[in-house]
Structure 1
């Protein structure tokens, strides 16, 4: 009986321990772009996985994940950038600035960090001016929604 209890404890603790030993990760505006398959299916407030290879998709995709489960990222807002010619550095700078404002206003947990998902030259040419602002935990996965309860 004791062996079964110890075995169950080891199985129960394994996922938490994996998060504690996971190397810290830094995500930036290149981590996920507007062209990453699956990202356009994510709406504000929703959680999603990091890009991973999926055989059925034939490449890397991000997938929606309920925020009540462990997830890698949560879209906390969208911001709209002004029209103009595409300049990657300008677009990235505006995206970081506007996402930081939202991150600060929401008072999201200080242990978390954020990154913007920015339009690419191709999506910009198609009229895409929206930036997705995403929160994540550099030390592991999110245990639930990072958004304040209303």
Structure 2
């Protein structure tokens, strides 16, 4: 996944698609939900595959790892009432039959996420103190069937508790 300056952007890679495995990430060996201490609170955490993230999910960590260019592995999802780094607020499934090119995918992602931002937050992205990021397919992940753009919102001041829907800030 790729990160742009200002707007954070992530691109799914074929390595990520083949490298992610899902299983019973939300259960420990005793068969109970995993818990983690986040901002001094014990909260239930589900490990979800990167490609199983959907609108309404709240993620514990910044999903970019390593050099800032790739996302890999399972992600930690929590109830949005618990402290979290980002919330998925919009998505779009691309319908082109062939990969339209990285510049087209990036432009579509940015446009989608900025437009959806105002409806979700209650003010324009340019006026807001909040930050957005987006995940999108690359030519490699496209071959494996990846077509989804996901928009994420985060507060650069730190973790959020509760949804950022309608906060108008």
| Higher gyration radius (CA) | 1
Distance 2:159 2:122 in 1: 15
Shift of 1:62: 2.0
Please name the residue that 2:154 is paired with. Answer: 136
Residue aligned with 1:82, SS: coil
Q: Structure 2: which 5+ residue stretches go unaligned?
A: 21-48, 66-71
RMSD, matched Cα: 2.8
Equivalences, count: 119
Q: Give the 4+ runs in structure 1 shifted more than 6 A.
A: none
Tell me the equivalent position of 1:105.
Answer: 119
Between Structure 1 and Structure 2, which shows a larger proportion of strand residues? 2
Unaligned runs of 5+ in 1: 1-24, 54-58
Match of 2:88 in 1: 75
- Which is richer in helix? 1
1:47 aligns with one of 44, 58, 70:
58
Q: Output the TM-score relative to the length of structure 2.
A: 0.59
> What's the CA shift string for 1:23-66, capped at 9, x where partnerless?
xx966113x6363753222221110122388xxxxx76421121
2:23 alignment partner in structure 1 = none
